[in-house]
Every structure is written in structure tokens, then in C-alpha cells.
């Protein structure tokens, strides 16, 4: 029983620490995305520097400096490297295709940030973590119950199951 209690307590502490860490990350972040997303997106942007794009009017063929080729469909939000579909995070090929479309003068192409899934937006994380776990005082501040009977009365009142008809009523 003690082991189970310790495991439960450890798990609760880890969850609470996790929540605190996320909150700290949200408070320190600037810009529209979480810090990790910003770093990843910056890496992807750098990788686009040596990409070449061929737009056929519907889809874009992105050729990397290694000579690899990937088909990007902005309408379907897919890239054949599968990164975009699996993670909902833009891959470098998708970024190249978006920038290429903007460069070609295509109207109404959303800015790069708008293509990133809302799960990576800071506002989404702030919304998810806006409900706070109330801090609690230590044991010294807890109410003291002196009578076991008092405790049992309270327990009965709160959690008592309905009595069966055969059970005699207590007096
Ligand atoms: Zn890709």
C-alpha cells in the first residue's frame, strides 16, 4: 500500500512539475509559436535555401541540393516526405513550395505562420493550461479532526450508500 501511495505521489509530482514547466515556457516565449516549434521552423527555413521549385499550377515539385525530389500539394497540405502529414509541422519542402507560390505572385496565399497547425501555436497552449491547480498549505494548516466518530459521521453523510429495506435503521 505504501509503495502504491509513493508511486501515486511521484506521478502526481511529475505531472505538477510538467505543468509548471509548460507554464514557465509559455511565460518566457515570444512570437506566435512554442519555443521548440520556433527552433524547428527556423531549421526548416534554413534548409530551404538550396531548394528549387517547379510549380505546375496545382502541385509543386521541390528539388533539394542532394537531388531528391518531393511533390508538395498545398491544397491537400501534404508532402511526399510525409513529415507534414505525420507531425502537422511544415517540412522544408512545404515551406519552399509556399514561398515559391508567394514569389510567383499567387494571390491569397496565407503567410507561413498560418500554415502551421494550431497545436503548435502559443495561444493554444495558453488556452489548454489556463486552468490552474490550486496551491495547498502544508499539514500544519490542515483542519484537525479529533474524534473518529465525527469523521465517520462525516464519511457516512458524504458517501453513504442507500440502505437496503432489510437493514435495521440505526438510532
Ligand atoms: Zn517534405
Measured in angstroms, how far is the CA atom of residue 110 from the centroid of ligand 1? 18
Q: Confidence band (pLDDT; 50, 70, 90) for 163?
A: low
Neighbour count for residue 98 (Cβ, 10 Å) = 23
Q: Where are the domains of the chain?
A: 36-128
Model confidence at 14: pLDDT above 80: no
Cα 102 to averaged position of ligand 1 atoms, centre (Å): 18
Query: Could you tell me the distance, in angstroms and rounded to a whole number, from the CA of residue 69 to the centre of ligand 1?
Result: 9
User: DSSP letter string over 97-122?
Assistant: HHHHHHHTT-TTPPPHHHHS-GGGBH
Distance 32 CA to ligand 1 centre (A): 22
Tell how far the Cα of 59 is from the centroid of ligand 1, in angstroms. 13
Rounded distance from Cα 31 to ligand 1 centre (Å):
24
Burial (CB < 10 A; 0-12, 13-18, 19+), residue 29, is: middle
Q: How far is CA 10 from CA 7, 23, 104, 142, in A?
A: 5, 20, 56, 21
Mean pLDDT, residues 68-85: 96
Per-residue pLDDT tens digits for 30-57: 789 988 899 999 999 999 999 999 999 9
- From ligand 1's centre to the CA of 158, what distance in Å? 58
Quick one: pLDDT at residue 100? Answer: 95
User: What would the pLDDT profile of 149-160 be if each residue is shown by its tens digit?
Assistant: 565 666 655 555
Ligand 1 mean position, distance from CA 155 (Å): 60
Residue 78 Cα to ligand 1 midpoint, Å, equals: 8
**Amino acid 30: pLDDT:** 78
pTM: 0.68
How far is ligand 1, taken at its centre, from the CA of residue 88, in Å?
11
Radius of gyration of the chain (CA): 28
Amino acid at each position: 500500500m505504501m509503495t502504491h501511495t509513493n508511486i501515486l505521489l511521484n506521478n502526481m509530482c511529475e505531472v505538477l512539475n510538467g505543468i509548471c514547466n509548460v507554464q514557465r515556457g509559455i511565460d518566457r516565449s515570444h512570437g506566435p509559436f512554442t519555443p521548440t516549434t520556433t527552433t524547428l521552423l527556423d531549421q526548416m527555413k534554413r534548409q530551404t535555401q538550396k531548394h528549387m521549385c517547379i510549380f505546375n499550377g496545382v502541385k509543386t515539385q521541390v528539388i533539394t541540393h542532394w537531388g531528391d525530389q518531393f511533390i508538395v500539394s498545398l491544397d491537400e497540405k501534404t508532402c511526399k516526405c510525409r513529415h507534414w502529414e505525420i507531425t502537422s509541422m511544415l517540412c522544408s519542402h512545404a515551406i519552399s513550395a509556399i514561398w515559391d507560390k508567394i514569389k510567383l505572385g499567387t494571390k491569397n496565399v496565407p503567410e507561413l505562420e498560418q500554415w502551421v497547425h494550431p497545436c503548435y501555436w502559443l495561444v493554444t497552449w495558453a488556452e489548454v493550461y489556463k486552468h490552474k491547480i490550486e496551491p495547498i498549505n502544508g499539514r500544519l494548516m490542515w483542519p484537525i479532526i479529533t474524534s473518529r466518530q465525527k469523521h465517520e459521521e462525516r464519511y457516512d453523510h458524504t458517501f453513504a450508500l442507500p440502505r437496503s429495506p432489510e437493514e435495521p435503521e440505526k438510532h
